[in-house]
């Protein structure tokens, strides 16, 4: 069977500004598509996305996740761009400091930042839900709790956005990202070493764990970089969308206020609906097929997580925001061996923020025109004017 051709530019501005209708069109075309503009296959339905993510032997990450091989060469050496058994070894280092039991000592600090922020915003009432709400806690985590020097903090968000723009590899956003990352490499070369990291911070602990797993200090420095960019943009994206969805669906905020036990599930529903990382590609390691469509070794297939999370073949009424929904199988944090290793930290940040806002905010209300962040991979707001009605 031949894959139908999808002609719209998956990384084009129009798609990024309003992706949900495009995902529906992709799912309607078939289980496997040929993206004409990207010269790659794509899967946009839930079952096929999960198949690709589970089949790490057929659809590999070690050749990189970008559509551009030059970009893949630049990003090699981290946990994301690797396959087993090396991926398992790297992840055993990078994931250890952010396992739930190892995050427990940070819980008090996360809670204190969240409570102080909620108190400030409830008093302030009007604010930008991106800059003044969504960015605050993740930024504090990266600069302070992760233990990086503050020498590059003014550029962290710019570097994070550049990294995710590189996964397309060819358009103007990707080309601009190359030059942006020169500054990140220089910063990490100078400050991304054990003696420049805060004692007890998450990044510093990489250098404690790595030798036990047979990694050198140079390799530990590379692994530590896994914490920099994913710690920022993904959590900022989901947190901004939390404000958006609770403003759009006030009945769900009422429900959350009445039932705080639903807060963890509400976080999962926000992640499903927003799906911060909308897609990554995989390299086809051998001749294979998906849903009867033959794929040749050397091709690229893009797994569209954001579309899978809205597939009505799997989800009931998927475009409805419902914090009581059974969300055990959403792919907002990925799936399979490359499931997001930072999901526990992201959950703790968002849970603490919602808990803090629940006791101070009666209503969320959007007060102006929102602005979409134009990024190839991350779905997020650049600006989201918000007003809250304090309790």
Annotated domain spans of the chain: 5-390
H/E element, 42: strand 40-43
What's the token pair of residue 272? 């499903």
pLDDT in tens, the chain (391 residues): 899 999 999 999 999 999 999 999 999 999 999 999 999 999 999 999 999 999 999 999 999 999 999 888 877 767 888 999 989 988 888 888 788 888 888 899 999 999 999 999 999 999 999 999 999 998 888 777 667 666 666 677 888 888 899 999 999 999 999 888 777 778 777 777 788 777 777 778 888 888 888 888 878 877 777 776 666 889 999 999 999 999 999 999 999 999 999 999 999 999 999 999 999 999 999 999 999 999 999 999 999 999 999 999 999 999 999 999 999 999 999 999 999 988 999 999 999 999 999 999 999 999 999 999 999 999 999 999 999 999 9
What pLDDT is stored for residue 154 in this prediction? Answer: 66
CA pseudo-torsion sign 246, 248, 252, 254: positive
Half-sphere CA count of 357, side-chain side, radius 13 A? 28
pTM above 0.85, yes or no: yes
Cα–Cα distance measured from residue 183 to residue 228, given in angstroms and rounded to the nearest whole number: 13
- At the fourth CATH level, the homologous superfamily of domain 5-390 is Cytochrome P450 (1.10.630.10)
What pLDDT is stored for residue 325 in this prediction? Answer: 97
What pLDDT is stored for residue 201 in this prediction? Answer: 76
Bond prior to 85 in cis (omega within 30° of 0): yes
What pLDDT is stored for residue 153 in this prediction? Answer: 65
Residue where the block lists tokens 């630049």: 74
Provide CB contacts within 8 A for 92, sequence distance 6+: 209, 213
Cα–Cα distance measured from residue 275 to residue 315, given in angstroms and rounded to the nearest whole number: 15
Q: What angle do helix axes 202-209 and 217-224 make, rounded to 10 degrees? A: 150
Considering only the C-alpha atoms of the chain, give the largest distance between any 2 of them, rounded to a whole number of Å.
60
Q: What is the 3-state secondary structure (H, E, C) of 186-249?
A: HHHHHHCCHHHCCCCCHHHHHHHHHHHHCCCHHHHHHHHHHHCCCCCHHHHHHHHHHHHHHHHC
Three-state secondary structure call for residue 387: strand
What's the token pair of residue 366? 């959007």
Asked if residue 127 lies in contact with residue 133, where contact means CB atoms within 8 angstroms, the answer is yes
Q: What's the chain's Rg over C-alpha atoms?
A: 20
H/E element, 356: helix 343-358
């Amino acid at each position: 069977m031949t894959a139908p051709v999808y002609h719209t530019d998956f990384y084009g501005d129009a798609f990024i500004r309003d992706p949900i209708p495009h995902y529906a069109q992709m799912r309607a075309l078939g289980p496997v598509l040929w993206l004409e503009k990207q010269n790659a296959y794509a899967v946009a339905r839930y079952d096929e996305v999960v198949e690709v993510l589970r089949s790490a032997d057929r659809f590999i990450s070690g050749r990189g996740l970008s559509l551009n091989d030059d970009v893949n060469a630049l990003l090699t050496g981290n946990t994301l761009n690797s396959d087993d058994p090396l991926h398992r070894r790297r992840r055993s280092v990078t994931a250890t400091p952010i396992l739930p039991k190892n995050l427990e000592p940070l819980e008090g600090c996360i809670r204190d930042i969240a409570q102080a922020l909620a108190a400030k915003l409830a008093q302030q009432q009007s604010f930008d839900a991106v800059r003044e709400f969504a960015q605050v806690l993740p930024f504090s985590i990266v600069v302070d709790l992760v233990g990086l020097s503050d020498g590059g903090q003014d550029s962290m968000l710019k570097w994070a956005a550049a990294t995710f723009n590189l996964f397309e590899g060819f358009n103007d956003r990707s080309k601009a990202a190359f030059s942006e990352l020169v500054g990140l490499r220089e910063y990490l070369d100078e400050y991304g070493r054990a003696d420049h990291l805060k004692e007890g911070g998450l990044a510093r602990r990489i250098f404690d764990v790595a030798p036990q797993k047979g990694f050198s200090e140079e390799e530990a420095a590379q692994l530590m970089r896994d914490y920099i960019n994913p710690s920022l943009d993904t959590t900022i994206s989901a947190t901004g969308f939390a404000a958006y969805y609770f403003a759009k669906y006030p009945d769900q905020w009422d429900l959350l206020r009445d039932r705080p036990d639903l807060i963890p599930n509400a976080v999962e529903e926000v992640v499903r609906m927003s799906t911060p990382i909308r897609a990554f590609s995989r390299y086809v390691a051998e001749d294979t097929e998906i849903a009867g469509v033959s794929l040749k070794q050397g091709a690229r297939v893009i797994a569209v997580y954001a579309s899978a999370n809205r597939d009505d073949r799997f989800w009931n009424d998927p475009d409805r925001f419902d914090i009581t929904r059974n969300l055990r199988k959403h792919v907002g944090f990925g799936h399979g061996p490359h499931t997001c290793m930072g999901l526990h930290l992201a959950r703790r940040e968002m849970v603490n923020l919602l808990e803090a806002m629940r006791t101070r905010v009666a209503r969320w209300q959007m007060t102006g025109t929102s602005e979409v962040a134009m990024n190839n991979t991350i779905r997020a707001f650049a600006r989201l004017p918000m007003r809250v009605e304090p309790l």
